[in-house]
A and B are shown apart, each in its own frame.
Chain A
Amino acid sequence: MPNIIVDGQTIEAKDGANLLEVLLNEGINVPYFCWHPAMGSIGACRQCAVVGYANEDDTRGRIMMSCMTPVSEGARFSVNADNAESFRESVVENLMLNHPHDCPVCEEGGECHLQDMTVMVGHRDRQYEGLKTTYRNQYLGPFIGHEMNRCITCYRCVRYYKDYAGGDDLSAFGSRDRVFFGRAESGVLENEFAGNLIEVCPTGVFTDKTFSKHYTRKWDLQTAPTVCQSCSLGCNTYTSERYGEVRRVHNRYNHEVNGYFLCDRGRFGAGHVNSANRIPQAGIRNSDGRYDPVDLETALSAVSDLMSSSDGLIGIGSPRASLEANEALIQLVGEENYCNGMTDNECEMHQVILDVLASDLITPAMAEVEDYDAIIIVGEDITNHAPRLALSIRQSIRQRAGELAESSGIALWHDAAVRELAQAEKSPLTLLTPMADRLDDVATHSIRLAPNEIINKTIEITNAVNDATPSSAREIAQTLIEAKKPLIVSGTSLNSPNILKATTNLAIAVAQHNPETGIFLCAHESNSVGASLLGSDRSGEALLATKPNTAIVLENDIYSRFAEGALESIDHLVVLTPLDDSTASQADVVLPAGSFAEAEGTFINSEGRSQRSMVVFKPKGDIAPSYQLLTRLAGHAKQASTLRSELAARHEALQPITSIAPNEQFRIAGSKVARMTHRSSGRTAMSADISVREKRQPEDQESALAFTMEGNQQQAPAALRTYSWSPGWNSNQSIHKFQDEVGGPDRSAVDKRPLFEQTRRLTPYDISVESEFDPGQIVILQQHIFGSDPSSNEAEEIASLIPQPYVRMNSTTASSLALTHRGGAKCRDIEMMVLVDDDVAEGCLIYPSIPATTALAGVASTDFTAIEGWIAPSEAVKASLITTDGAR
């Protein structure tokens, strides 16, 4: 730990850090633009200038860029020296030469890093009298707006998009003062992580279009810390509300999970909360089959009548609902009549995940994945099924670059130097998938296999771990054994328990050679792991086989999840759901359940981490959290924290869920944590059109957050912090004010409380492949980042990117089925485009998991027939598929 002297003050610096990090760690405000904690330094913007002195006698010193300066023992610097200050001011002045005079009409205004830095350096008047450079903007898709005039050419966007996220359709174009950041031509940004440009750009070049439609300044948003519901990874988000609707989702820094970045499904998918498809009111089906809207009391007493007159009552829980809601359902119907709402197959898959999480195998957190230097992905489409993990895997292949840099004595934060040194060198990444994958560009081996062959290949690699006979499998096994930290990744997207079992067997085998071996299995839905913990011993099918006649269904679309036949015995159906779906339209009574933004809940993600999602705003009308509706049915409404402690009392393993976030009694200096900012405006006029008498702010009995601007916010623990702000730092760059070390864990983050003891030694599974796949008839459902999550599909912008139905196969399969590329195919009255793509494994037919193809469940490949003279719709295949379209 070298000691450095800054403005006469001795500072203990972190080894290997650059000066900018050290100064920010110390709480010294140094302005910067191009440096980013996740992306390192390139010294492009010249904003973080300080004065460095050669020795004690040196009084003049020289200007140097703190982000490019390594610290060494006894080095002397000055941040406050006059020439450093005037230099920094002149840099902002120069960057602002062409900045348009449009902050009032800029979505970044009020949380703009450029505004903050301009104020910090004290620049005020534009002295240059020349003309401002202007640019024409591009259309970049439904998510991101483009306003190139505001650019300060810090290059953060292309560094993030190309270097970090692996995109290839955003670049810097032009020369001299004409540099332009955009696409070669207008069009939807293809990368699944493009939304992060909004937060990466220090000014308003890339802005959130979905937010702009109902724009609200940051200071007016009522925000709560939430957990993303779009996949099983549980990324941390801030969800914000104004005037009773969800306005935007922003990244919430969690060092161990999502870090600084989110995927586009998570960021732009929360529109379902405002959807026209929401169930706003309870409804009872009348004799002519239509719903009568009724008040909640009437509906609840109708449900009580149904329950008391029922002949066999069951409760079907959900892997999409919180632990609290599932617990309330268990308490209502009794443990013996409850199932977690998963199919046999899903239960089996998630049981494997539970086994692994409870075993002594290392199960890394998502951020830790970046540290693994050899990865094999077995039969999982990470980018579409658990998107944010793909971004971590993209960073892990840079482990090789890190090694090279270390051997050449280059610090890792020297981003441009490290990339220049590494060139195309990358850590081994092996993909075993049935079709082209978005990670192919960084993979060292991409192997296309049908699902049953994936299992066989995995078994082969597992055997090769202990068998040194040279073979292709041995080669892959060797990369894993020889790596410092090998990681084995798989997941549930191919719906095959055997793939998960084979993967686990591989991890067990590799772990015997290398104790650092990690395994990451992606679950299917936001609370799949939690729901499995509550009852993976009995699937929905098993419970339905008892032929109950009344079912209470919790936030679960059972009519698309289970086969129609399984639900035949149910005469009376009670459904709690936020969104109208195929199950709601079969119900006798529908209860309006709160969405994730309106209900508190605890969710367990793929890595076995339990996380609390808080209420963002009080829902309208009769909408209430599911757990409240269910406990009211059981007698009297219970608080979420009561349900949690009751659940923890029954389940030893779930003890930690009560302490991951403070409960409703928590206070800071006697007050709750405010959801609104201290500058929240319009309180006495917001509802004045209805009544000039100001309404009392709603009270929150359920949590330690308050629906007001009064309360402590700065000292709130990470799990309760409602927005990131610090004096002088209005943008999301203020995150570092909550870290002890820039890019490190949040100062107040609760230590990860493992749910599992992780001591049990796993014995390899027996695998029988034959039963699962019929080799000639393999039909695979492909997950789509935009299209496969029923909630986010309700967001208008996501819906516009859902691909049209298609069926993909290689040329051999196509000719055997008499189908032609870009021709039409028909199956069960659904028309779709045929894509012939030789990157698809032999004998596989792939169709997308999107709302338009739900009717295709269980088809055989021979059911697809050609349509004569079919004309493809012009936009048949949308952006999210472009790189996996064989005809590209």
Chain B
Amino acid sequence: MGMILKAIWSQLVTLYRVLLHTFTPTDTVSYPEEMPYLAPRYRGRIVLTRDPGGEERCVACNLCAVACPVDCIALQKTEDEHGRWYADFFRINFSRCVMCGLCEEACPTYAIQLTPDFEMCEYDRQNMVYEKEHLLISGQGKYPGYSFYHVAGKAIKDKDKGESLNEATPIDVRSLLP
């Protein structure tokens, strides 16, 4: 008997709750006339960002490519004359991308970031293939201020050995001081 009463009560509460929802504002918007709000961390179109100095953040380490569950990122490392690594080409096949964000999580330099832009429809699948020039933006994206090369101990143009975060000046190997 108690069981049956409990079940009836539950049904009534459910009906009440549903009824209550008819008075709340609707979540559905008439897209595309009206744009929904998307949080800054919404996972849409992928971009490559630049560091505070305006240089490409991507160092072509390949971690995004290996993290990608659909293998839609391909890139090749190259180097400038000062030893800075960057991508020779960087290609994302968005027709395969599932916007999972694992590439962004894997990226050690905050270079690859997902943006709230999801409007990427094309009539031709080939147009879903983005190269570096399509991916690279001029800003720093969601993580301003970070520059990988100023943390890492590799010398590049205008940043010598010992000038990174937490680094002492290069030692003098020929010193005999105790």
Residue of A104, A174, A180, A243 near B109 (CB, 8 A) is A104
* CB atoms of B65 and A681 under 8 A apart: yes
Question: Which B residues are in CB contact (< 8 Å) with A669?
Answer: none
Given known A-B contacts A100-B154, A104-B59, A174 and B175 have beta carbons under 8 A apart: yes
**Cα–Cα, bound, A256→B122 (Å):** 59
Q: How far is the CA of A682 from the CA of B97 in the complex (A)?
A: 11
Whether B175 lies near A178 (C-beta < 8 A) is yes
Residues in A neighbouring B62, C-beta threshold 8 A: 110, 216-217, 220, 681
- With contacts A178-B171, A212-B79 taken as known, whether A682 is within 8 angstroms of B71 at the C-beta atoms is yes
Least distance between A369 CB and chain B CB atoms (Å): 38
Contacts A104-B148, A684-B93 known; A215 to B77 CB distance under 8 Å?
A: yes
Q: Are A683 and B71 in contact (CB-based, < 8 A)?
A: yes
B142 at the interface (CB under 8 A from A): no
B93 engages A149 (CB within 8 Å): no
CB of A685 within 8 A of CB of B92, answer: yes
Tell me the bound Cα distance from A679 to B69 in angstroms.
Answer: 10
> Which residues of the partner chain A approach B168 to less than 8 Å between Cβ atoms?
131-134
**A688 contacts chain B at the CB level, 8 A cutoff:** yes
B74 touches A136 (CB 8 A): no
User: Contact check: which of B153, B162, B169 meets A102 at CB < 8 Å?
Assistant: B153
- In whole angstroms, how far apart are the Cα atoms of A122 and B85 in the complex? 29
Does the CB pair B59–A105 fall under 8 Å?
Answer: yes
* Dominant SS among interface residues on chain A: loop
Provide the residues of chain A in CB contact with B91, threshold 8 Å: 685, 688-689
Known interface pairs A133-B171, A174-B175; A681-B96 also in contact (CB < 8 Å):
no
Is there contact, CB below 8 Å, between A689 and B129? Answer: yes
Distance of B91 from chain A, by nearest CB (Å): 5
Q: Does B161 count as interface, using CB distance less than 8 angstroms?
A: yes
Chain A residues near B85 (CB-CB < 8 A) = 104-105
Decide if B76 is an interface residue (CB 8 Å cutoff): yes
Q: Does A871 reach chain B (CB closer than 8 Å)?
A: no
Residues of B71-97 at the interface with A, using a CB-CB cut-off of 8 Å, are 71-77, 79, 85, 89, 91-93, 95-96
Contact: B61 with A691, CB < 8 Å? no
The reply to whether A214 and B76 contact each other, CB–CB distance below 8 Å, is yes
Q: Is the CB of B74 within 8 A of A134?
A: no
B123 to chain A, nearest CB (A): 13
Instruction: Tell me, rounded to whole Å, the shortest Cβ–Cβ distance linking A177 to chain B.
Output: 8
- Whether the Cβ atoms of A685 and B148 lie closer than 8 Å is no
Q: Does B99 contact A (CB under 8 A)?
A: no
The CA-CA distance from A758 to B74 in the complex, in Å, is 54
Residues of A within 8 A of B77 (CB): 214-216
- Judged by a CB distance under 8 angstroms, whether B105 is at the interface is no
Distance A213 CA – B85 CA, assembled complex (angstroms): 10
Range class of the B interface residue count: 35 or more
Shortest Cβ gap from B28 to chain A (Å): 33
Determine the chain B residues whose CB is within 8 A of the CB of A213 once the complex forms.
79
How many angstroms from the CA of A217 to the CA of B85 in the assembled complex?
Answer: 14
Least distance between A463 CB and chain B CB atoms (Å): 56
Say whether A176 faces chain B, with CB atoms less than 8 Å apart: yes
* Residue pair B96, A100 in contact (C-beta under 8 Å): no
For A689, the chain B residues whose CB sits under 8 A away are 89, 91, 129, 131
Q: What residue in chain B is nearest A145 (Cβ atoms)?
A: B83
How many A residues face the partner with a CB closer than 8 A? 46
A104 touches B108 (CB 8 A): yes
Query: B126: CB under 8 A from chain A?
Result: yes
- Residues of chain B within 8 A (CB-CB) of A215 are 60, 77
Tell me which of B151, B161, B166, B176 contacts A136 (CB under 8 A).
B161
In the complex the two chains form, is B173's CB within 8 Å of A178's CB? yes
CB <8 Å contact, A134 and B66: no
Contact (A149, B161) CB under 8 Å given A176-B178, A684-B93, A688-B129: yes
Interfacial chain A residues near B176, Cβ < 8 Å:
175
- The residues of B that contact A103 with a CB separation of less than 8 Å are 61, 108
Q: How many Å from the CB of A285 to the closest CB on chain B?
A: 38
Q: B73 contacts which of A176, A178, A681 (Cβ < 8 Å)? A: A681
B65 → A minimal CB distance (Å):
4
Is the CB of A101 closer than 8 A to any CB of chain B?
yes
Q: Is the CB of B178 within 8 A of A217?
A: no
Q: Is B68 an interface residue (CB 8 A)?
A: yes
Q: Scoring A residues 123 to 156 as 1 if CB is less than 8 Å from chain B, else 0, what string do you get?
A: 0000000011111110000000001011000000
Q: Are B153 and A688 in contact (CB under 8 A)?
A: no
Q: Is A173's beta carbon under 8 Å from chain B?
A: yes
Complex: A220 Cα to B131 Cα, angstroms:
20
**Considering the chains assembled together, what is the distance between the CA atoms of A288 and B72 in angstroms?**
50
Q: How far is the CB of A50 from chain B (nearest CB, A)?
A: 32
User: Which interface residue of A110, A136, A684 has the most chain B CB atoms within 10 A?
Assistant: A684
Note all chain A residues with C-beta closer than 8 A to B73.
681-682, 685
Chain A 582-610 interface mask (CB, 8 Å, partner B; 1/0):
00000000000000000000000000000
Across-interface contacts of B66 in A (CB, < 8 A): 217, 219-220, 679, 681
A-B contact pairs, 27 of them (CB 8 A): A100-B164, A103-B61, A104-B61, A104-B63, A104-B148, A105-B59, A105-B61, A105-B85, A132-B153, A132-B167, A134-B153, A136-B161, A149-B161, A173-B173, A175-B176, A215-B60, A216-B62, A220-B66, A681-B66, A682-B65, A685-B72, A685-B91, A685-B93, A685-B96, A688-B91, A688-B129, A692-B129
Give the A-binding residues of B (Cβ under 8 A): 59-63, 65-66, 68, 70-77, 79, 85, 89, 91-93, 95-96, 108-109, 125-126, 128-129, 131, 148, 151-155, 161-162, 164-176, 178
B-binding residues in A (CB < 8 A): 100-105, 109-110, 131-137, 147, 149-150, 173-176, 178, 180, 212-217, 219-220, 243, 679-686, 688-689, 691-693
